[in-house]
Amino acid sequence: MMLNVVKTLLPGIISFALGIGFAPVLTNFLYKHKMWKKRAGKRALDGGETPIFNKLHETREVGVPKMGGAVVVFAASATAVLLWLLPSFVSSELFEKLDFVSRGQTWLPFAALLLGALVGLADDFLEVRGTGSHIAGGLSLRKRLIAVAIISLFAAAWFFVKLDVNTVSLPFLGEINLGIFFIPLFAIIALAVYSGGVIDGIDGLAGGVFAIMFGAYSLIAFFQDQFNLAAFCAAIVGGILAFLWFNIPPARFYLSETGTMALTLTLTIVAFMTDALGEGKGIAVLPIIAAPLLITTLSNIAQVASKKFRGKKIFLVAPLHHHFEALGWPPYKVTMRYWVLSVLFAMVGTIVALIG
């Protein structure tokens, strides 16, 4: 048991250290090449203007680089590679057991982390260069959704064909066999989780929320004896904490699509890995653990629907965290209260997953 605890926690420490070391290098590159939006502003989901948001963020939208998610991806990936290669250079049974890269538990979420980061990086690069179809460049929402759908469908097919998984588990009810419908359900959940990635909008907010969510799934995986997956999640937490070190106000860079697409896709796959495959309830508790993302998405949907059918807005500005900003809450207050709620949701979700 003690070795499994070390195996789970050590990658988080290593990942944090590697991320802290890499962040200044990335920061120098981003500022040297001015990798930020060239003009402030965005458009709402319905294509309309967002004057309140633009006023709140007009001084921060430009001058602060994007692509900060590269810290998370680099730190977690370098940790995985380091612990995978270490036994080749140092003959030790201990180092062999610390390697958490495995076909059955971490190949797929690792691939999702890298693929999501690559697509997100392309979007961020186009945005800072001012090309593309939305207000400040970048890939259109449609193209990003297609990319997420393609990656998630591939992952779903891997689960269905390679891992022979076609069920989801519900607390106190057991497994429900979905057959081939497992694949579209997987894609729908991935798209829903990705839609909550717009929580990245206030210094420190997304980093704290994602760290808590992955921490919860690391704990769930650990108690389901999925120690490789638990270690992988811990490595991501370490990378996020390194990013957060530089993202707390005033942020040195933003998570942006490089980070949010990578993390939301990975979170979806981790949730499925801790479901039927791990004889757990990873999917059923996802709406609880990822409640901040769910609330963010629902606030956007409610705002668009209200404007279309009622002719007026529900919130001053959507998503919800910006509504609180518009009410006059200091950004740090919004961030910290989201962190507090995220911890509570993670605790509830973890309890349900372990006793359900």
Residue 344 has a pLDDT of 98
Residue 133 reports pLDDT greater than 70 = no
Cα-based distances in Å from 233 to 77, 102, 236, 263: 11, 13, 5, 11
Token code pair at residue 156: 């779903």
The single residue listed with the structure tokens 């269905």 is: 160
Residue 173 has a pLDDT of 81
Three-state secondary structure call for residue 199: helix
- For β-strands 174-177 and 167-170, DSSP reports them as antiparallel
Bridge partners of 175, per DSSP, are 169
The kind and range of the H/E element at 176 are strand 174-177
CA 255 to chain centre: 10
Query: How big is the chain by its Cα radius of gyration, in Å?
Result: 20
Residue 1 has a pLDDT of 80
Q: What is the pLDDT of residues 263-310, one digit of tens each?
A: 999 999 999 999 989 999 999 999 999 999 999 999 999 999 999 899
Token code pair at residue 65: 């680089």
Under 8 Å between Cβ of 164 and 143:
no
Q: What is the pLDDT of residues 33-51, one digit of tens each?
A: 999 887 766 655 555 556 6
CA 6 to chain centre: 24
Which residues contact residue 316 at a Cβ distance below 8 angstroms, ignoring those fewer than 6 apart? 52, 322, 323, 326, 327
Separation CA 66–CA 248 (nearest Å): 14
The single residue listed with the structure tokens 């449609």 is: 142
